[in-house]
Amino acid sequence: MNSKSISFFIVGMVVGLLVATVSLSLTGCDDSSENAAEKVKVLKLAHGLDVTHPVHKGMVYMAEQVAKKSGGTLRVEIFPNESLGNEKECIEALQLGYLAMTKTSSGPMEAFVPKLKIFGLPYLFRDSEHFWKVCLGPIGKELLEAGVTKRLKGLCYYDAGARSFYAKQPINTPADLKKNEKNETMKVRVMNSPMAMGMISTMGGAPTSISWGELYTSLDQGVVDAAENNPPSFQLSRHYEICKYYILDEHVMVPDMLIISTRVWEKLSDEHKKILKEAVDESVTEQRKLWIEAEKKAMEVVKADGVTIIIPDKAPFREAVKPMWDEYEESLGDLARKIKEVK
């Protein structure tokens, strides 16, 4: 065989291996047994949170229940800390079937499922009780299914509390977002979400979309002046080491969502679908308990480290975001009214 023939042979082998690999990846599952009668389905679940986060712990509980209920024939393997990509990348991987499941905030899902923008409307929910009545009721279930045509099936919501500002300087009213220490418009990190970016702009700040994993360095180096998130995320990320003001304006209650690729879901047996859904539902109850504990601990930790907690009058914040409600009246108005009517 001459050198040219050898080169073609090697290229052919490489292409063949790549095709075989992609074909296996499209299922989003791994078969860990050669025996067809004893095949184990492994669902890969990726997300961006730290392993100490209550949402991650809730998913660990879910994975344990899946293994237990299935007798080990179905397993969920979790990849935290953006090890398989950021939220947007993981969502896209679900659509292609390269990844089975992901946990994402509803914010990044807006680009794929426009209806989910509803969660980004500031001051939509009266309180946590109202939020959960909506999410566990008909409206919440309908929104979980809204992405099926995009190959994204929602399995549940996880508690992500209320998002509030944290910054290097006090924020008592939206007017404070218009001037940082350099007399410039305050740069506020937000999720990759049109609604989040629109909210900050409407309040007078400069929204900046930065990956969660890059935010600590961005705050430290002054790329952004502030961010917004819930207490456990503020504490576990150690952003409180840089931002010494936590402003509990509680502008939105944006849930975390557990999503599965429809390509993967449709290939599961009816029994495995039932087991997965039962385990997911049980993990929601467990995660909500973990969340309450984590919020309490987070506030204790940041206070002990010298963070000043500001509880502002929410009226100026509600007033500042009224233009957003007007902007989305046509597309989200009816749904927003239905949510507000939930008692």
pLDDT of res. 28: 55
Cβ contacts of 216-223, under 8 Å, gap ≥ 24: 216/242, 218/189, 219/168, 219/189, 219/243, 223/187
pLDDT at 29: 56
The pLDDT value given to residue 192: 86
**Which residues does 180 contact at the CB level (< 8 Å), separation at least 6?**
168, 169, 186, 187, 225
Going residue by residue through the chain (343 aa), what tens digit of pLDDT does each one get? 444 343 433 334 333 433 333 333 334 555 444 444 458 999 999 999 999 999 999 999 999 999 999 999 999 999 999 999 999 999 999 999 999 999 999 999 999 999 999 999 999 999 999 999 999 999 999 999 999 999 999 999 999 999 999 999 999 999 999 988 888 899 999 988 899 999 999 999 999 999 888 999 999 999 999 999 999 999 999 999 999 999 999 999 999 999 999 999 999 999 999 999 999 999 999 999 999 999 999 999 999 999 999 999 999 999 999 999 999 999 999 999 999 999 9
Q: Which run of H or E residues covers position 304?
A: helix 270-304
Query: Of 3.40.50.720, 3.20.20.80, 3.40.50.10800, 3.40.190.170, which CATH number belongs to 27-159+255-295?
Result: 3.40.190.170
pLDDT for the residue 3: 42
Q: How many beta carbons lie within 10 A of that of residue 193, not counting itself? A: 25
CB of 335 closer than 8 Å to CB of 139: yes
Calpha distance 109→214 (Å, rounded): 20
| Burial of 90 per CB tally in 10 Å (0-12, 13-18, 19+) | buried
Strands of 218-298, DSSP E: 226-229, 245-252, 256-261
Please count the other Cβ atoms lying within 10 Å of the Cβ belonging to residue 16: 10
Nearest to 259 by CA among 271, 276, 272, 234: 276
Rounded to the nearest angstrom, the gap between the alpha carbon of residue 163 and the centroid of all alpha carbons in its chain is: 13
Collect all residues with Cβ–Cβ distance below 8 Å to 71 and sequence separation of at least 6: none
CATH top-level class of 163-254+299-337: alpha beta
Span(s) in the chain for CATH 3.40.190.170? 27-159+255-295, 163-254+299-337
- CA proximity to 263, closest of 52, 100, 21, 39: 100
pLDDT given for residue 39 in this prediction = 84
Burial of 26 (0-12, 13-18, 19+ CB in 10 A): middle
DSSP, collapsed to helix, strand or coil, labels residue 48 as coil
What are the tokens at 19? 């095709």
**DSSP state for residue 342 in the 8-state scheme:** -
Which tokens sit at 144?
């979980």
